[in-house]
Amino acid sequence: MLRSLPLSRSVSTLRSAKSQLSSGIGRLSPHTFSCGSGSFLTTTCGLTLLDFTSGIGVTNTGHSHPRVVAAAQKQAGRLVHGQVNVGYHEPMLDLIDGLSEPAGPLACMASPSFLPGPHADGGRPHLFFWNSGAEAVEAAVKLARHATRKQGVLVFQGGYHGRTLGTMSMTTSKNIYRAGFGANLPGVLVAPFPYVHRYKEHLGGGTEEEREERTVDFCMAQLDLVLSQQAPASDIACAVIEPVQGEGGYVPAPASFIRRLREWCTKHEILMVADEVQSGFGRTGGWFAMDHYGVSPDVLVFAKGIASGFPLSGIAAPGSLMNTQPPGSMGGTYAGNAVSCAAAVATIAAMQDEGMLANAVARGEQLRGGLAELQKRLPIADVRGLGLMVGVEFEPAAGGIAGAVTQECLARGMLLLQTSVYDTVRFIPPLNVSEDEVKMGLEIFASSVDAVLAKKK
Ligand SMILES: Cc1ncc(COP(=O)(O)O)c(C=O)c1O
């Protein structure tokens, strides 16, 4: 018999509902969020928290940006679901136009490698939309395998590509994502990622430039070893890289590595796939991190920030590559949902009109500058990042404090996440965060580290 849901729930019912959620979900806070605005979230208990997680790099325009909300509301009133295997819908076509503007989000796809580029279509990349980042990564791998008729998938140590069966097999940031869930997808090969700070202890010191050069040389030599030890190039369909590793510790790859990887992929006829699920959509101060490197991947994977919180992901590739797929081989019930696409169109417009990319650069500098100041007196080993994708790695001597620091930040009113197997926290504010909010975040962080260290004494 149908029963209507209670309008208000007692605290005990809420507790019971919470305990019914899968124990497999890790969670930073016990709070229930009731609303969000800009850089802040409010809980059902009336607490207001400075959100420097942005829902893990999703609400890049801030919580419930009025333009995004209005566009989604309008679209929901017209058409919610225009199934992609049944026909087209307008928001998706508008989104393709918005993404393809000459200086727009997909400008980095202008000149891919050994493939006849998107130039054939007047420089416009071809697109496939899906829902989650992991789905889009798998779409990229399927595209590469099908187009090259090769199976191998090369990934980089510390990378994160998702939790589905396929993408967990490509993920090496932490073994919790794979442990007990095997067998993994066959054909995945792993090469070292140029994590300059970490390789210092193995490759020696010197200036930052010298350490970077040695790390890049080492990683390039290891790539060649993959070809002679793990699989020949004739068996490898694609190399999938996060230009800035997210779950691996907010580690930007040196520009020289990304450029040399591009050349290496071209030389060996291996497709270069940039997984920009976390680093994309303005997060680094460019539309995509690849903009900073001046390199075009063969396939770009995007998700998270594109629709400010509505589920939407996808891949972009030259037509010559994308159109190798026979009709019917791609698609999915909710692929490129109409409301999500309308939210994405509004997200692009809001980012452009409100100068969010430039703000990400300026506020990123402010944040890294403030953290570098704190590094002078706190046990911080490394402050790194691009734009508003900023990581702080604590010194090993601090004894593993990142988790305690995030809990202390929470107690003091700020949401901050850990990342990677190393003792690291990550700052992911919205791209329209204000100077005062960054200042507030720095103050909460500093007092939290002080409090954690004081408790350890
Ligand atoms: C680089 C990267 N790729 C893929 C994914 C998976 O995305 P989703 O959680 O939407 O499946 C993530 C998620 O954090 C990510 O950071």
Domain boundaries, the chain: 28-57+355-456, 68-353
Q: Which atom of ligand 1 is nearest to the CA of 311?
A: 10
Distance (Å, whole) CA 126 – CA 31: 41
Q: Say if residues 249 and 393 touch (Cβ distance below 8 Å).
A: yes
pLDDT band at 193 (very low <50, low <70, confident <90, very high): very high
CATH assignment, 68-353 = 3.40.640.10
Q: Please give the distance, rounded to the nearest whole angstrom, from the Cα atom of residue 279 to the centre of ligand 1.
A: 10
Closest Cα to atom 4, ligand 1: which residue? 161
CA 218 to chain CA centroid, nearest Å: 26
Q: Is 417 in the pocket of ligand 1 (CB under 6 A)?
A: no
Q: Is 275 in the pocket of ligand 1 (CB under 6 A)?
A: yes
Q: Please give the distance, rounded to the nearest whole angstrom, from the Cα atom of residue 390 to the centre of ligand 1.
A: 17
Q: Across residues 3-22, what is the average pLDDT?
A: 64
- Per-residue b/e over 111-132, b at no fewer than 16 CB within 10 Å? ebbebebbeeeebbbbbbbbbb
Instruction: Say yes or no to pLDDT of 5 above 80.
Output: no
Q: What percent of the chain has pLDDT over 70?
A: 94
pLDDT in the model for residue 1: 36
Q: Which atom of ligand 1 is nearest to the CA of 245?
A: 1
Superfamily of domain covering 28-57+355-456: Aspartate Aminotransferase, domain 1 (3.90.1150.10)
pLDDT in the model for residue 249: 97
Q: Is 89 in the pocket of ligand 1 (CB under 6 A)?
A: no
Q: Which atom of ligand 1 is nearest to the CA of 162?
A: 6
Q: Across residues 128-140, what is the average pLDDT?
A: 98
Least confident of 142-156, 255-269, 297-311, 319-333: 319-333
Instruction: Say yes or no to pLDDT of 111 above 90.
Output: no
Which stretches within 149-299 are classed as H helix?
165-168, 196-203, 208-229, 255-268, 290-293
Q: Across residues 247-271, what is the average pLDDT?
A: 96
Give the model confidence (pLDDT) of 37-73 as tens digits: 999 999 999 999 999 999 999 999 999 999 999 999 9
Where do we find the tokens 């510790």? 249
Phi, psi of 322 (to 5 degrees): -60, -35
Q: Please give the distance, rounded to the nearest whole angstrom, from the Cα atom of residue 378 to the centre of ligand 1.
A: 31
Determine which helix (DSSP H) or strand (DSSP E) holds 296, and give its type and residue range.
Answer: none
Token pair for 223: 């790539």
